[in-house]
Structure 1
Amino acid sequence: MTFQDLLRRLVILNIKTRNQLQARVARLRNLEPTIERATRTLANLKTNSPSEIRIRSGFVYQADAPPIDPSDRRAPAPIHRPPATRLISPTGSSLRLYLLALYEAHLHARPGQRPSNRRPVISYDAPGHGWVDLLAPRSNLTTGGPTNVAMSTADKKKRRIVSALKALAKDDIQLVHLPNQGKRVDTYEHFQLLHEAGLQAHADPVPYTIPSRRDDHFTLPAALFLNGWIHVLEDSELAFLMMLIHWREMTQTFQVKIPSDIRVLHYGIGKETYEAHRLLTRFGLVELEADPNRRSDGTVVNHKDADWNPLHQFRITASGLENPAVEMAIKGIQKELRGVIEVLRLADLS
């Protein structure tokens, strides 16, 4: 491949990245009132909410590595990933809804208890009391493609919740039980959470209980939910952040260094999701200490000649989640965008 070919590929990649970043900024600005409303509704559920919630490790980490070769650094097939990375979707809401449901469960149940779910999917008579009010959409629900049927914003919100619940209740996921499944009405009402590890091999689904200190778990700060980050972060960014938190707590290390085979085989995070660290650092949630022998995408310089694989080090910024999500995300994306535009300018000059 010639230098001109490489330059052309670089330009195309950066144009695509520029367009994606610009679209994300526009989307966040458009959805800011909706995100603020959903965040405020969640915060008002209970005044003495916990400072953190416990999530069992099986949600993000599988102890037994699948029998595959991680050398190509691609994410394993979904069947070989833990639930958190199996749920990653650029447009879906399953991962965010499940995390929100775990947080909501911690508000009214104690360790060892099975939380009840009396919250309706949508409440037409009492807005603010349904699951649709706790989950901000990924895009503007008042616009969209042409349709033959007029649909209210509330019904569009409900459709997204239903779609997420369908995904969570799949036989190969089993993170949610639908007690009314098969009924013609209220099919998705009173859904029940299942164990965070999801599908149990050769066993019935395990009901969810609030983890105790004795359970193998990691903790997510309540600020992730109460400052709007749960609505602002993409699924890949949520999965990457949970991986860092879990590994830090499991290894009791301040600087997080995760070998690539563990990242791929045990967390199910391949090259594409690994790239989430770029914007997480821009958002002020993560600090990166890059190894000079490793490129930004995780590949190693002179890999064939290296006797060992240098690792990026990450440090989770303690106060990062305490900042308002939309404001910090827009600022971070704009910083990244300026860098991408500068690359395009230099490429044009060449």
Structure 2
Amino acid sequence: MAGDLAAVERRHRRLKRLKDSQEVEKANAALQLAWNSGLKPSAIRLRPELVSSARPVPAAEPAPPPVTRLLNPRGIALRFYLIAVFEAHCRLAPGKRWAGTRRLQGLQGWTNFVAVDAAFSSETGTYLRETKQERDAETSRLRQLQGALRTLEDVGVKRVQALVEVPKKANGRGRDYEDFRLMGESGRGPLHTPNLYSVPWPGDDAIAIPPDFFLRGWAHVLSPAEMATWLALQELSQTYPARHEESGVYLYAKRRKEQFGLLRDSYEDSCNTLEALGLIREVPQTRVVVTDKGPVEVSVGTSDSTSKLSFLYKPCRYQMVNEGFAADALDKTMKELIIRKHALERRQKNRE
């Protein structure tokens, strides 16, 4: 689990709060109800344009994919967009275009699908009481959902990559969040007519997301960077299935930055976390080292201290472990955070 001790403690504290308040449990139940009462899709299919830049025309700079604007660690914009795509799959047949039928709040409202933690006071070391005016859990969910919609609407130059549209109210005062419209994975587009979301056809190029990603709580537990990293690796695994099966998939720096818009530290930390959670596995490999006798392949982790070695960089290769999503996301992540916390505490003690 990536991150220093303070970051790990913050994340564990947040997840414990979500567990104690049953936020994730209740959101999972709402998503399960939508799946059970709907079409029960075997996979949620996401067009790769959300996380992967389209190939630019010659001599043009590639536009960053929309996901790069949704990587705020505490934001729920990416999470909500994926949940909205899940809801559309449960309700709409392939090829059907978006038509919203839910209110933001209420028994079947969108706020039932998201889990949010209460505000934490660093001064007192406690969470703000839910009875405080305008600090109750439902109000917090509504505010964060409205903030997510604003973030999703403000993507790309001139909002060309906007992932939702929120119209103004009829009286011109404020926005009508109830009537938001979901856009396709590449965004609204530059035309007068918006690119409304539609469920992909079976033959369309799409990233397959297991339903358990939503039904077992992973959509609420993984960070936006971890979600974006997993989606990038999942796309690669489906684009190069033989390579994935034989030796795993990987990202070199240029492709990671230009095609997927992922920074090195964020990508590597996310891979470490996803591996610790059992959602991907690193494939053992060899690396080429230059010795006095020429290039030699050695297993990862070995070295020859008697020779001057110059390692030629090879990125880590990964295989997807989609069955890992069957585990309870909250319990699994909290256990791994505790393991990481103890390891960091031991390391800090040894330094002292």
TM-score class normalised by the smaller sequence: 0.7 to 0.9
Equivalent residue number for residue 26 of structure 1: 13
Equivalent residue number for residue 91 of structure 1: 74
CA distance in 1, matches of 2:58, 2:18: 43
Higher alpha-carbon deviation: 220-229 or 267-276: 267-276
How far is the alpha carbon of 1:338 from its aligned partner? Answer: 2.5
Identity, in percent, stands at 25
How far is the alpha carbon of 1:248 from its aligned partner? Answer: 0.7
Equivalent residue number for residue 165 of structure 2: 177
Equivalent residue number for residue 231 of structure 1: 220
Over aligned residue pairs, what C-alpha RMSD do you find?
3.2
Q: Structure 1 residues 49 and 140 mapped into 2: Cα distance closer, same or farther (>3 Å)? A: farther
How far is the alpha carbon of 1:212 from its aligned partner? Answer: 0.8
CA distance in 2, matches of 1:169, 1:181: 16
Equivalent residue number for residue 162 of structure 1: 146
Equivalent residue number for residue 49 of structure 2: 58
CA distance in 1, matches of 2:80, 2:134: 26
2:28 touches 2:113 (CA, 8 Å); kept in 1? yes
CA distance in 1, matches of 2:63, 2:175: 33
Equivalent residue number for residue 231 of structure 2: 242
Equivalent residue number for residue 280 of structure 1: 274
1:196 touches 1:208 (CA, 8 Å); kept in 2? yes
Q: Please tell me whether residue 219 in structure 1 is matched to residue 212 in structure 2.
A: no
CA distance in 2, matches of 1:263, 1:65: 16
Equivalent residue number for residue 189 of structure 2: 200
Q: Please tell me whether residue 289 in structure 1 is matched to residue 283 in structure 2.
A: yes
Residue-by-residue CA offset, 1:34-56 (whole Å, 9 max, x unaligned)? 10011011101241521211111
How far is the alpha carbon of 1:291 from its aligned partner? Answer: 5.7
Equivalent residue number for residue 114 of structure 2: 135
Q: Please tell me whether residue 315 in structure 1 is matched to residue 319 in structure 2.
A: yes
Q: Structure 1 residues 180 and 214 mapped into 2: Cα distance closer, same or farther (>3 Å)? A: farther
Equivalent residue number for residue 258 of structure 1: 251
Q: What is the TM-score when the length of structure 1 is the normalising length? A: 0.80
Q: What is the TM-score when the length of structure 2 is the normalising length? A: 0.79
Q: Please tell me whether residue 189 in structure 1 is matched to residue 178 in structure 2.
A: yes
Equivalent residue number for residue 331 of structure 2: 327
CA distance in 1, matches of 2:274, 2:169: 39
Query: Unmatched 5+ residue regions in structure 2?
Result: 121-125, 289-302, 304-308
1:93 touches 1:161 (CA, 8 Å); kept in 2? yes
Partner amino acid, structure 2, of 1:163: G
Higher alpha-carbon deviation: 336-345 or 230-239: 336-345
Partner amino acid, structure 2, of 1:206: N
Equivalent residue number for residue 7 of structure 1: none
How many aligned positions are there?
Answer: 312
CA distance in 2, matches of 1:37, 1:131: 12
Query: Unmatched 5+ residue regions in structure 1?
Result: 1-13, 69-75, 295-300
Partner amino acid, structure 2, of 1:157: R
1:286 touches 1:317 (CA, 8 Å); kept in 2? yes
2:210 touches 2:322 (CA, 8 Å); kept in 1? no
How far is the alpha carbon of 1:199 from its aligned partner? Answer: 4.9
Q: Structure 1 residues 307 and 326 mapped into 2: Cα distance closer, same or farther (>3 Å)? A: closer
How far is the alpha carbon of 1:149 from its aligned partner? Answer: 5.6
Equivalent residue number for residue 8 of structure 1: none
How far is the alpha carbon of 1:150 from its aligned partner? Answer: 4.0
How far is the alpha carbon of 1:280 from its aligned partner? Answer: 1.2
CA distance in 2, matches of 1:231, 1:308: 38
CA distance in 2, matches of 1:138, 1:159: 12
CA distance in 2, matches of 1:313, 1:267: 17
2:17 touches 2:117 (CA, 8 Å); kept in 1? no
2:287 touches 2:311 (CA, 8 Å); kept in 1? no
Residue-by-residue CA offset, 1:54-108 (whole Å, 9 max, x unaligned)? 111101111336999xxxxxxx9xx942112221111111100000000000011
